[in-house]
Chains A and B, each alone.
Chain A
Amino acid sequence: MHSKIQIIIFIFVHKKKTFKVNHFYMKILVCISHVPDTTSKINFTDNDTKFDTNGVQYVINPNDEFGLTRAMWFKEKQGASVDVVNVGGPETEPTLRKALAIGADSAIRVNTPATDGYAVAKQLAKVVNDGGYDLVIAGRESIDYNGNMVPGMLAAMIDANFVTNCISLEVDGTSAKATREIDGGKETVSTSLPLVIGGQKGLVEESDLRIPNMRGIMMARKKPLSVVEPTETNAETNVVSFEKPAPKGAVKLVDADNIDELVSLLHNEAKVI
């Protein structure tokens, strides 16, 4: 992350040029998780120990895409650089290229499988420290492992402020205002950079999401995608096996003219009312 001294120097230079400084030039890192498309059928191989990637399409984790789009807004409206990072093998590069096509400036891939949330956070912490980022936007959770842990662990490792379930984010200078969803409502907080965000829909609206156009895709091919080797880390958890939910029994249909029966079934059979 930026040291305080770097920030001070930057503002000083600006002042000398007599610019009015509301925002310093933010360095943003967006964490991109490479996940199966939401329509994917989930199956396992090797005696239910491995996810079956056969026929699976991969996409940018939806929560991360909202964050990336918000980062692009900062770049375009306030002046910021936007790098994207993924911890994973070479197979994740098309997903990083897509993020570049949406508008990120450069991409980093940490060349190691994403073994668990802790190991991923550890790799990201190194990228953030090496790159001196002011703002890191990750997704609240990935839609494959749903751990809800990478952004928080990362924030703790680099001692940055942290807001998750974030549905709005404004940055002014080094101050930030964020709204996070809480159970049954929302909460607005003030905080400051360096900051890690666990983002989700609301950071931008669904209609703000960008589909890369031809020009973006062409440009993405020329943008830098650097592959860095991992630091040594051990995972703290280890998946022993996967299982699928037990197959569901057939639905019991109730006649629309006999809603009494539905009430009775919910009370006597399902025992939920």
Chain B
Amino acid sequence: MKKLKVMSILVYTESENGKLKKAALEVVSYAKAVADQMGTSVTAVAVNADNAETLGNYGASKVLLVKDESIQAFNAKKYAAILESAAKNEGAKVVVVSASANSKYLAPLLAVGLGAGYVSNVVAAPSSVSPFTVKHSTFTNKAFANTEITTDVKIVGLSNNSFGLVESDGSASVEDFSPSVPESGVTVESVDKATDKVSIADAEIVVSGGRGLKGPENWGMVEELAEVLGAATACSKPVSDLGWRPHSEHVGQTGKPVASNLYIAIGISGAIQHLAGINSSKVKVVINTDPEAPFFKAADYGVVGDAFEVVPKLIEKLKAFKAANA
């Protein structure tokens, strides 16, 4: 008798130095929701991750764990090939990846490998699984589109912090997985990354400064506020163009997108290009001297005031709050 292939939902769970990322738990939670809609189960793929069985707490019933020192550094082509083999072995009809820089790097390669249609920046569970239809942000967060994926295999790129973590009762079995990995013409020479700081992509809270802060010497309070909150720091475009802050902090339509739970804008006017990139953050706070600044129309909470007075006070109050709630 012909063996029927299981038709699970495959999900790529990222780790860093062995530790599973929060986004990995979120994509598993999402995959579980899709699996429930389709009456199937979730298989996670992890590379060199520790404690892979914990993915069971979020709905994975199986983890394919690749342990291979030679691919410690992320390589889009190799990782896409691993996912391609896993998807084919599992007969997966849906593959879920996150919105991290690495996932966005590998997903288009995987899409071609699997002949799968791919939609990125997805913000909700499918509104229908047949036809398979997902809602995703478009026009840099100025709108959403509901898009049908018409191929047999589908890839969903989930926007960070859009689905949240959903715990599950199940448990996951961990299996060693060692597919053949192709050569790649791209070799990592060096990585330059602050290990003590949370990245804008992974951050739950982002503290962002604009031209209203007058100069790079005034960023001490922004960094202190970020530290108190465990937040990432960001900035408006002119601030990075002026060289006050590195380009990697530039957020907005032409910079990085932000989809944090809390976004605090200090001395930022709220130009349309800035707002476009940060709009999918859940809660927005603006601190600005000008009550007419457009940011007040986009924010949930606002303080009309001088950042040089308000921010130190906010730091002080937050420290007190943290001490009281510790």
- Could you say which residues of chain A place their CB within 8 Å of the CB of B138? 144-146, 242
A214 at the binding interface (Cβ < 8 Å): no
B302 at the binding interface (Cβ < 8 Å): yes
Q: Are B137 and A146 in contact (CB under 8 A)?
A: yes
> Is the contact region of chain A dominated by helix, strand, or loop, or is it mixed?
mixed
Q: Are A149 and B147 in contact (CB under 8 A)?
A: no
Question: With the chains together, A254 CA to B75 CA distance in Å?
Answer: 47
B193 at the binding interface (Cβ < 8 Å): yes
Q: Given that A38-B253, A259-B314, A267-B321 are known contacts, is A183 also in contact with B101, CB under 8 Å in the complex?
A: yes
A272 at the binding interface (Cβ < 8 Å): yes
- Could you say which residues of chain B place their CB within 8 Å of the CB of A177? 189
B165 at the binding interface (Cβ < 8 Å): no
Chain B residues 178-192 with CB under 8 Å of chain A are 184-192
The minimal Cβ–Cβ distance linking A258 to chain B, given in whole angstroms, is 9
Partner of B199, one of A44, A164, A183, A243: A183
Using CB atoms, name the residue of chain B closest to A195: B185
Chain B residues 87-117 with CB under 8 Å of chain A are 100-102, 104-109, 111-113, 116-117
Q: Which of B61-69, B166-174, B293-301 is the interface stretch?
A: B293-301
Q: Given that A187-B192, A201-B255, A259-B310 are known contacts, is A237 also in contact with B144, CB under 8 Å in the complex?
A: no
A228 at the binding interface (Cβ < 8 Å): no
Specify which of B102, B255, B283, B297 lies most central, judged by the most chain A CB atoms within 10 Å of its CB. B283
Q: Given that A149-B118, A164-B105, A256-B304 are known contacts, is A144 also in contact with B298, CB under 8 Å in the complex?
A: no
The minimal Cβ–Cβ distance linking A122 to chain B, given in whole angstroms, is 10
- Could you say which residues of chain B place their CB within 8 Å of the CB of A235? 150
Using CB atoms, name the residue of chain A closest to B77: A162
Q: Which of A5-13, A98-106, A153-161, A217-225 is the interface stretch?
A: A153-161
Q: Are B112 and A236 in contact (CB under 8 A)?
A: no
Question: With the chains together, A146 CA to B254 CA distance in Å?
Answer: 11
Question: With the chains together, A167 CA to B111 CA distance in Å?
Answer: 24
- Could you say which residues of chain B place their CB within 8 Å of the CB of A181? 101, 248
B273 at the binding interface (Cβ < 8 Å): yes
Using CB atoms, name the residue of chain B closest to A164: B105
- Could you say which residues of chain B place their CB within 8 Å of the CB of A260? 317
A202 at the binding interface (Cβ < 8 Å): yes
B53 at the binding interface (Cβ < 8 Å): no
Q: Given that A157-B112, A239-B146, A251-B300 are known contacts, is A146 also in contact with B120, CB under 8 Å in the complex?
A: yes
Q: Are B192 and A272 in contact (CB under 8 A)?
A: no
A263 at the binding interface (Cβ < 8 Å): yes
The minimal Cβ–Cβ distance linking A70 to chain B, given in whole angstroms, is 15
Q: Are A243 and B300 in contact (CB under 8 A)?
A: no
Q: Given that A156-B113, A201-B255, A239-B147 are known contacts, is A185 also in contact with B194, CB under 8 Å in the complex?
A: yes
A172 at the binding interface (Cβ < 8 Å): no
Q: Are B120 and A182 in contact (CB under 8 A)?
A: no
Partner of A243, one of B105, B106, B144, B184: B144
Q: Are B301 and A240 in contact (CB under 8 A)?
A: no
A211 at the binding interface (Cβ < 8 Å): no
A81 at the binding interface (Cβ < 8 Å): no
The minimal Cβ–Cβ distance linking B88 to chain A, given in whole angstroms, is 16
B142 at the binding interface (Cβ < 8 Å): yes
- Could you say which residues of chain A place their CB within 8 Å of the CB of B299? 251
The minimal Cβ–Cβ distance linking A255 to chain B, given in whole angstroms, is 8
Q: Are B190 and A184 in contact (CB under 8 A)?
A: no
Q: Are A238 and B189 in contact (CB under 8 A)?
A: no
Q: Are A253 and B205 in contact (CB under 8 A)?
A: no
Question: With the chains together, A23 CA to B142 CA distance in Å?
Answer: 43
Q: Are A161 and B321 in contact (CB under 8 A)?
A: no
Q: Are B148 and A155 in contact (CB under 8 A)?
A: no
- Could you say which residues of chain A place their CB within 8 Å of the CB of B113? 156
A165 at the binding interface (Cβ < 8 Å): yes
The minimal Cβ–Cβ distance linking A260 to chain B, given in whole angstroms, is 6
Partner of A237, one of B119, B285, B318: B119
Q: Are B185 and A161 in contact (CB under 8 A)?
A: yes
A55 at the binding interface (Cβ < 8 Å): no
Interface string of A180-208 (1 = CB under 8 A from B): 11111111111110000000111001110
Using CB atoms, name the residue of chain B closest to A178: B186
The minimal Cβ–Cβ distance linking A68 to chain B, given in whole angstroms, is 15
Q: Are A118 and B146 in contact (CB under 8 A)?
A: no
The minimal Cβ–Cβ distance linking A206 to chain B, given in whole angstroms, is 5
Question: With the chains together, A147 CA to B107 CA distance in Å?
Answer: 11
A92 at the binding interface (Cβ < 8 Å): no
Q: Are A273 and B318 in contact (CB under 8 A)?
A: yes
Using CB atoms, name the residue of chain B closest to A63: B254
- Could you say which residues of chain A place their CB within 8 Å of the CB of B229? 273
Known: A149-B111, A189-B187, A243-B146. 11 other contacts (CB 8 A): A38-B253, A38-B273, A117-B118, A146-B138, A164-B105, A188-B190, A191-B187, A201-B250, A251-B296, A254-B303, A259-B310
B residues within 8 Å of A by Cβ? 74, 76-77, 100-102, 104-109, 111-113, 116-121, 133, 135, 137-151, 157, 184-194, 197-202, 204-205, 229, 237, 241, 247-248, 250, 253-255, 261-262, 272-273, 276, 279, 282-283, 285-286, 296-306, 309-310, 313-314, 317-318, 321
Give 24 CB contacts A-B under 8 Å.
A144-B138, A144-B139, A145-B138, A146-B139, A149-B118, A151-B108, A156-B109, A164-B105, A183-B100, A184-B193, A185-B199, A187-B193, A188-B188, A200-B254, A201-B247, A201-B254, A202-B247, A248-B298, A256-B304, A256-B310, A266-B285, A266-B301, A272-B205, A273-B205
